[in-house]
Structure 1
Amino acid sequence: MEVWIWIPITFLAAFMQAARTAGQKHLTKDFSAVGASYVRFLWGLPFALGYLYFLKERGDHELPDAEWQFFVFATLTGLSQIAATILLVYLFSLRNFAIGSTYARTEALLTAVVGAVVFHEALSGGGWFAVGLGALGVVIINLARTGTGAGSGADDTLLRRLFQPAAGVGLAAGLGFAGASLFLRQASLALGLDDWLYGAALTLALVLVIQTAIMSVYILFRARDQIAAMVPNWRGCLFVGITSVIGSAGWFTAMTLERAAYVKALGQVELLFTLALSVLFFKERSTPKELFGMLLIAGSIIVLLLYG
């Protein structure tokens, strides 16, 4: 069953991630980028610990004697995800929900590239073609959002449009998520447990503890007003916490079973969920050029999955 079960788990994780991101966008009305990111970790931690306890009791597990690699990779996972989440939330102020998420979703392609270079998970010719196709999709979306033509002025060059802040922030967020994906897989595999559900849950719990601790120190000393903002927004915070931990549990489990590049490739179905949420809840619209760019990115993911 483990051979294919990662596929429906990835679909669930992608849907929950789209829902959580939409919830965080809603929270940005009352929270800063850091505060909205903190909500994800703080409100998700109790559910992650409860999930771990359930699996521990169900399987009558003892806590394993983990090697140092587990803690190193778990810490790197937490730090990468914190940085990427803050960048993603900040991205909402630069571009609309669907386009901003598309920029950040280059993580699937970046995961494949970094995985090949750092962890020696080589790509085939089809895999590299997918990387190029996805990059082209990002460029088309970026050009569509910045516009061309009359009134642009002499300084409004192609190079300037390609490297506007939204593109850089989105790609940086994607790189952060890519690193987190690769690190978490290494952390989970370092445990060497036969029960992949329990191993993934243990990794998730430790990562969330690290993330919550780091973010709590910052919030307490630099942004205490973000804690007060949680009281009137507790429903939104609860929604973000629940969807976040379900999505993270899905990603962690799938990546314990399959290589991160393939999981993230299939996870690009989140693009469809994101578009649906942006239309239904945020009343946003995308132009034909933007949709074409999104289709190119989705196509690149299919190529990566089938021929990578």
Structure 2
Amino acid sequence: MIPHEHLWIPVTLFAAFAQTIRNAAQKHLTASLGTLGATLVRFLYGIPFALLWLGFVHVGGGFALPEPNAPFAGWIVLGAVSQIGGTAFLLQVMHERNFTLGVAYSKTEAIQVAFFGFVFLADPVGPGAVAAAAFGTVGVMLMSPMQGKHALRALLTGWTSRVALFGLASGTCFGLASVGYRGASLALEGVPFPMAAAY
């Protein structure tokens, strides 16, 4: 039996495994359904799991269903539309020849979440967060294609390539989605965290 405080380890490993399989399946779906069709499949596939989790938290956890309000609805729309956009851009990245570069740039999501959280939710951004964002940015820049004497030019122009722009757009959309979902949870004042997160 796994101790309660260590449950996050197998859950994280399973989630990473499932995400890898999902991304591979989506790449093949995109070939037959197109980018938007594969994006739709991803969301339709997730609905039953989201409803099951909500039911588990409600019935199994004994948490009452909250009453949605206008700010909650606004944040949810922002999160949902941004999530769809992020998925569409990421699937587009997978069609590009140098898709690993685009995926690397999509990982700027964490940096962008900190920025959008500060702008839209007035989240504090301390020195640790600034340092993490700076190191993350440098890490992503180091993953851009650099060769020989043109390394600096490759570093600067890597951000403007088609695949990098798709990756950055994906990261931006996923960052906005994260902030939208957090804003929706915060809009449900007085609702316990497990239900606010599931709802």
TM-score by length of 1: 0.54
What corresponds to 1:46 in structure 2? 48
C-alpha distance in 2 between matches for 1:197 and 1:116: 24
Sort the Cα spacing of 1:131 and 1:58 in 2 relative to 1 into closer, same or farther, 3 A: closer
- Equivalent residues of 2:98, 2:163 under 8 A apart: no
- Equivalent residues of 1:94, 1:166 under 8 A apart: yes
Is 1:168–2:165 an aligned residue pair? yes
What corresponds to 1:193 in structure 2? 191
What corresponds to 1:90 in structure 2? 92
What corresponds to 2:79 in structure 1? 77
Sort the Cα spacing of 1:71 and 1:6 in 2 relative to 1 into closer, same or farther, 3 A: farther
Identity of aligned residues (%): 36
Sort the Cα spacing of 1:198 and 1:124 in 2 relative to 1 into closer, same or farther, 3 A: closer
Offset from partner CA, 1:116-150 (integer Å, 9 cap, x none) = 23322232333223322222222232224xx5679
TM-score by length of 2: 0.80
Letter in 2 for 1:201: A
Letter in 2 for 1:193: V
Counterpart of 1:179 (choices 171, 176, 179) is 176
What corresponds to 1:128 in structure 2? 130
- Equivalent residues of 1:78, 1:180 under 8 A apart: yes
- Equivalent residues of 1:33, 1:90 under 8 A apart: yes
Deviation of 1:97 (Å): 5.2
- Equivalent residues of 1:143, 1:162 under 8 A apart: no
Deviation of 1:172 (Å): 1.1
Pairs aligned (count): 190
C-alpha distance in 2 between matches for 1:148 and 1:34: 39
Larger relative CO (CA 8 A, sep 6+): 1 or 2? 1
Deviation of 1:5 (Å): 8.1
Q: CA RMSD in A?
A: 2.8
C-alpha distance in 2 between matches for 1:67 and 1:5: 36
